[in-house]
Amino acid sequence: MTTRYAELLARGETDPDVVGLVLSGSHARGMASEHSDLDVYVIVREHGGRWSTSRSPELDTIIVSLADLADTSDRWQRYSYRGARVLLDRLGGRIAELVHAQATLTRTESDSWVREYLDGYINFIYRAAKNRRDSRPDLAQLEEIEAAPWFLWTLFALYGRIRPYNKYLRWELDTDPLPAPWTADHLIKSLTGRPSTLFPDLERVARAKGFGVVLNAWDDLDLVR
């Protein structure tokens, strides 16, 4: 524990405006290296008090209001709460509940995200297939690169989960594995090579989970198969 981190915790624990402290990042997930800083969310009742966000190579202090913490509209930010550690919760478990809500998907969210991202993934691999067909392998690879994040959003949403940041993909799958064949080694190799090769297995899972309507909206899936 660094001095600045200890001072931050002590200040937060004695300030009545602070209702929660949450450790995120590599330290919370047990992945810290000598280059890792500490990422701490300071939860305040509302903005405008004595606290302000600050960042340094040693410690990032991010000020979040209760309203901010309850707002799940920022999809990309939500994964920062996955694996986070609640250090202080003055609201009888409410901070922990809000952190959990940020880090997980509701059934409605999962359904909506799968439909959106599966369609996007198919769009990119379909474009890649057409470029390969027309002897444009370099442009096909550009489309494959674009397809990778859409695939990850789709895959994790199919299982009711938030897409991890790339840095934490292996940690995520080691900590909470997905069913075969979705191992970290398999995904990383395919996503950094040709993400379209993952389509047959993804199609199987998507149809089994009731998303055939998204797939059936495409007239020429044989081209990507």
Q: What is the pLDDT of residue 48?
A: 86
Sheet holding 85-89, edge to edge: 54-55, 59-65, 38-44, 18-24, 85-89
**pLDDT per residue of the chain (225 residues) written in tens, 0 to 9:** 678 999 999 999 999 999 999 999 999 999 888 888 999 999 999 998 889 999 998 999 999 999 999 999 999 999 999 999 999 999 999 999 999 999 999 999 999 999 999 999 999 999 999 999 999 999 999 999 999 999 999 999 999 999 999 999 999 999 999 999 999 999 999 999 999 999 999 999 999 999 999 999 999 899 998
- Residue 108 dihedral angles phi and psi, to the nearest 5°: -65, -45
Q: What is the pTM of this model?
A: 0.93
Three-state SS sequence of the chain: CCHHHHHHHHHHHHCCCEEEEEEEHHHHCCCCCCCCCEEEEEEECCCCCCCCCEECCCEEEEEEEHHHHHCCCCHHHHHHHCCCEEEEECCCCHHHHHHHHHHECCHHHHHHHHHHHHHHHHHHHHHHHHHHHCCCHHHHHHHHHHHHHHHHHHHHHHCCECCCCHHHHHHHHHHCCCCCCCCHHHHHHHHCCCHHHHHHHHHHHHHHCCCHHHHHCCCCHHHCC
Q: What is the pLDDT of residue 40?
A: 97
Q: What is the pLDDT of residue 1?
A: 62
Q: What is the pLDDT of residue 170?
A: 96
CATH of domain 3-103: 3.30.460.10
